[in-house]
């Protein structure tokens, strides 16, 4: 490397790169956020996203998976990059740029895997505690992005078991969009896609009559993927 170029690198102010993971979960009733306790601020009750620093030999994706595992013991979670937060004032300790990732998982699938080392805990997105640094802004942006994705892609099916009821699916979308959906309209639009297979089995304890279970017709789903978008909240059909 030429000496003048090397000097240019050496003259630059060093900056830390951090990773923060925003893990949303659905427990069948509410949309929740996974948080951990960190001893970074003076206040004992400050909660944090899964955050840490990128090491010299790591990729961003590798660092995000490692940090998530160290703080929660969770593995095999697909993390999607959301945004880079670089305000000079975002970290009062040291100039730090943070790359935020997010994921949406089924709470029950990972409940038994959560580590207690950092008191990892699920909170309703409607009742979040005080968060570290600018983590509240990260969460707000992630929720907006999640809603956009949910309006463009039937992500709800990825969070539900192989067989599910229409009320279960409706609760998921109500949790994501933070609004109550009309029961009859939701059911009508969903069934009009003709991409669900009705099963003979009913969910016990839901009501006197019970709610029938459904499953996705995988072959039709692959060929007519966009048909599902017709039933999503905000669609006009």
The pLDDT of residue 37: 87
Average pLDDT rounded to a whole number, residues 198-214: 81
**Using the 8-state DSSP alphabet, how is residue 131 labeled?**
B
The pLDDT of residue 113: 84
Residue at which a domain ends, from 151, 181, 205: 151
The closest of 172, 218, 219, 217 to 199, measured between CA atoms, is: 217
Give the length of the chain: 237
State whether 140 and 72 are in the same domain.
Answer: yes
- Please check whether residue 181 is in contact with residue 172, taking contact to mean a CB–CB distance below 8 angstroms: no
% the chain with pLDDT above 90: 44
For 5, list phi and psi in degrees, rounded to 5. -70, -40
Tokens of 209: 């009559």
Helices (H) and strands (E) in the chain, counts: 8, 9
Global pTM value: 0.84
- Give the span between the Cα atoms of 145 and 16, in whole angstroms: 26
**Using the 8-state DSSP alphabet, how is residue 185 labeled?**
H
Number of structural domains, the chain? 2
Specify if 39 maps to a domain: yes
State whether 72 and 176 are in the same domain.
Answer: no
Per residue in 95-149, pLDDT tens?
Answer: 999 999 999 988 888 888 888 778 889 999 999 999 999 999 999 999 999 988 8
CATH number for 179: 1.10.10.10
Range of the domain at 196: 154-231
The pLDDT of residue 203: 84
The pLDDT of residue 237: 45
Reply yes or no on whether the pLDDT at 169 is more than 60. Answer: yes
State whether 163 and 139 are in the same domain.
Answer: no
Can you give the C-alpha Rg of the chain in angstroms?
A: 21
Average pLDDT rounded to a whole number, residues 154-170: 79
**Using the 8-state DSSP alphabet, how is residue 164 labeled?**
B
State whether 13 and 123 are in the same domain.
Answer: yes
Tokens of 229: 């978008």
Average pLDDT rounded to a whole number, residues 11-39: 90
Specify if 120 maps to a domain: yes
State whether 93 and 146 are in the same domain.
Answer: yes
């Amino acid at each position: 490397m030429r000496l003048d170029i090397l000097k240019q690198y050496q003259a630059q102010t060093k900056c830390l790169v951090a990773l923060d993971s925003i893990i949303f979960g659905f427990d069948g009733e509410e949309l929740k956020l996974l948080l951990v306790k960190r001893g970074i601020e003076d206040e004992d009750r400050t909660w944090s996203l899964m955050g840490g620093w990128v090491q010299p030999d790591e990729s961003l994706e590798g660092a995000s998976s490692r940090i998530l595992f160290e703080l929660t013991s969770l593995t095999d979670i697909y993390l999607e990059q959301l945004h880079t937060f670089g305000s000079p004032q975002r970290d009062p300790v040291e100039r730090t740029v943070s790359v935020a990732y997010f994921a949406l998982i089924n709470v029950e699938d990972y409940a038994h895997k959560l580590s207690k080392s950092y008191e990892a805990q699920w909170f309703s997105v409607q009742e979040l505690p005080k968060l570290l640094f600018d983590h509240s802004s990260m969460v707000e942006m992630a929720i907006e992005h999640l809603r956009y994705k949910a309006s463009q892609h039937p992500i709800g099916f990825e969070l539900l078991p192989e067989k599910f009821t229409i009320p279960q699916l409706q609760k998921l979308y109500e949790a994501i969009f933070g609004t109550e959906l009309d029961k009859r309209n939701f059911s009508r639009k969903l069934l009009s896609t003709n991409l669900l297979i009705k099963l003979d089995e009913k969910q016990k304890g839901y009501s006197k009559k019970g709610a029938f279970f459904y499953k996705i017709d995988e072959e039709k789903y692959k060929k007519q993927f966009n048909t599902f978008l017709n039933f999503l909240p905000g669609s006009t059909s």
